């Protein structure tokens, strides 16, 4: 049965930078939410104030829910909140759907789906792209793996959070597609940093360079959204460096599984290592420029 605002009950686990605005958009769309977050932060209270019901555990969030969404940091976290003690599987009813919107291992995703299926619970892996702005505006790109019928029934839920929604294939396909996304994003970020750094090192007006190249073939999401932040020295996270590093490790693991060399991703991963060494792991991925600024001895600012 298709999910319906006002009728479908959703359990939501993980109210971080991405999860909290996604939950708020679901509430605004008319869905009833029971939410869990392992730490009590202001954004959790914001979701409660908007109408969400607080749960003490993932199992409590899942109890009585028709759909359970998880959006947590890493593969072990997803395993824990779904399959662990006090996890979703403890109380999820037969016929319910678990939608994991975290970014994790495709291989482990298939294992989790198999464990859920044994109990009669459906699973969709549905990682997202679009950053904190996309989460706030409800314009995320959502890449989905799982059965077509389960995807069709869940589409109204996805439409409350995103605009570009695609089912790619079976379980794990969503996570593999997110890996492909992270390849394109990270290597584009590397290219942007190099372009801005050459401009700065050549004593050009970096702001004018960004304006000049943004209207041609060099135009990109990174240049449009992260370029201006770099110019202002704004390194507040939309997506943290340490989370990007986690994702790139997953990309390299997936590539290793199919015996594929990805030198561009490897290079991006190494440069983000430099950024982490500079103490910037909790800054946004635009902080990649700092690895180049250290080398050049000057900053790329407007």
Catalytic residues: 178
Residue 55 in contact with residue 36, Cβ under 8 Å?
A: yes
What is each CA distance from 156 to 5, 103, 257, 259, in whole angstroms? 8, 21, 34, 38
Neighbours of 207 (CB within 10 A): 17
Q: Return d(Cα 147, Cα 150) in angstroms, integer.
A: 5
Q: What b/e readout covers 145-181, taking b as 16+ CB neighbours within 10 angstroms?
A: bbbeebbebbebbbebbbeebebbeebbbbbbbbbeb
Structure tokens at 201: 């090192």
Angle between helices 106-118 and 75-83 (to 10 degrees): 10
Residue of 148, 194, 155, 195 whose CA lies nearest to 169:
148
Q: Return d(Cα 138, Cα 20) in angstroms, integer.
A: 12
SS3 274: helix
Q: Return d(Cα 248, Cα 178) in angstroms, integer.
A: 11
């Amino acid at each position: 049965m298709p999910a319906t605002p006002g009728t479908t009950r959703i359990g939501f686990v993980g109210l971080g930078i991405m999860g909290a605005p996604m939950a708020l958009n679901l509430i605004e769309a008319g869905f009833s939410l029971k939410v869990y977050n392992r730490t009590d932060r202001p954004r959790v209270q914001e979701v409660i104030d908007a109408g969400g019901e607080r749960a003490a555990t993932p199992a409590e969030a899942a109890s009585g829910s028709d759909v359970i969404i998880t959006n947590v940091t890493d593969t072990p976290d997803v395993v824990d909140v779904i399959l662990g003690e006090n996890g979703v599987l403890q109380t999820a009813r037969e016929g319910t759907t678990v939608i994991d919107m975290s970014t994790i291992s495709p291989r482990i995703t298939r294992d989790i789906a198999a464990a859920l299926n044994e109990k009669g619970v459906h699973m969709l892996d549905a990682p997202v792209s679009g950053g904190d702005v996309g989460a706030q505006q409800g314009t995320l790109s959502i890449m989905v793996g799982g059965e077509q019928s389960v995807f069709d029934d869940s589409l109204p839920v996805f439409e409350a959070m995103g605009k570009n929604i695609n089912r790619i294939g079976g379980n794990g396909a969503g996570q593999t597609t997110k890996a492909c996304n992270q390849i394109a994003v990270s290597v584009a970020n590397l290219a942007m940093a190099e372009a801005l750094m050459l401009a700065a090192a050549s004593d050009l007006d970096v702001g004018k360079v960004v304006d000049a190249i943004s209207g041609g073939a060099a135009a990109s999401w990174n240049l449009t959204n992260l370029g201006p932040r770099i110019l202002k020295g704004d390194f507040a996270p939309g997506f943290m460096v340490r989370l990007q590093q986690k994702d790139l490790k997953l990309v390299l693991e997936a590539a290793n599984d199919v015996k594929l060399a990805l030198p561009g991703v490897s290079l991006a991963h190494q440069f983000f290592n430099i950024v982490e060494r500079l103490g910037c792991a909790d800054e946004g991925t635009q902080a990649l420029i700092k690895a180049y600024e250290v080398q050049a001895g000057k900053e790329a600012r407007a």
